[in-house]
Amino acid sequence: MKPRVPASPDLPVDPSSFRQVMGRLATGVTVVTTRCDDGFDHAMTANSFTSVSLDPLLVLVCVEVGTRFHAAAVVQRAWGVSVLDASAEPAARWFATSGRPLEGQLDRVAHHRGRLTGAALLDGALATLECRTTEQVEAGDHTIVIGEVLGLAMPDQSALPLLFWAGRFGLPHTVGRAARPA
């Protein structure tokens, strides 16, 4: 058995240390989408997505202020969420790319339109949700967008999730460390 490493000393309370500490929390990865009245789709990769309430059914996503997606999200009231499987890392990276072209950004990813919102939902997602914004809360350099869940789908129950941990994407058993011998 490996000896336990003693806890590290306290870190400075600053953005860099905060990012490192929060990186110790493994999260699932989603792509959040909305379609604007001008016909353009907006999309972003988000790991700051979570359930909020069962009654009513509510979820939230945190959206960085100043991004194109933020500008669309505060206006549009309908949006979709695709929970990514482990094979969707290229899509996660693409939708996390700052400055990518707005027009045709969904062309490289198989998707379909949500029946209730018209938002793009990624084919092959572990699960999808269609939502309508109920509240927006300004919080530092992000806006917390809370949405009522209008529709749910879970097309593939056998695939593994895409996780994000310590600044990297990976499968649950490979994120962060090499597998230990049995």
Q: Cα–Cα distance between 108 and 118 in angstroms, integer?
A: 18
Q: Report how far residue 39's alpha carbon sits from residue 54's, in angstroms, rounded to the nearest whole number.
A: 32
Cβ neighbours of 19 (radius 10 Å): 10
Query: What integer pLDDT is reported at residue 2 of this predicted model?
Result: 65
Q: What amino acid occupies position 19?
A: R
What pLDDT does residue 54 have? 95
Predicted pLDDT of residue 156: 66
**Cβ contacts of 101 within 8 Å, gap of 6 or more:** none
pLDDT in tens, the chain (182 residues): 666 666 667 888 888 888 888 878 888 999 999 998 888 999 999 999 999 999 999 999 999 999 999 989 888 999 999 999 999 999 999 999 999 998 999 999 999 999 999 999 999 999 999 999 999 999 999 999 999 999 999 986 788 899 998 888 875 556 554 433 33
Cβ pair 140, 62 in contact under 8 A: no
Residue 22's pLDDT is: 83
CB 33, CB 91: distance < 8 Å = no
Long-range contacts of 56-60 (CB under 8 A, 24+ apart): 56/148, 57/148, 57/149, 58/134, 58/146, 58/147, 58/148, 58/149, 59/129, 59/131, 59/146, 59/147, 59/149, 60/144, 60/145, 60/146, 60/147
The set of residues, in sequence order, having a beta carbon less than 8 Å from that of 168 and lying 6+ positions away, is 175, 176
Give the H/E segment covering residue 91: helix 89-95
* Terminal C-alpha separation, the chain: 12
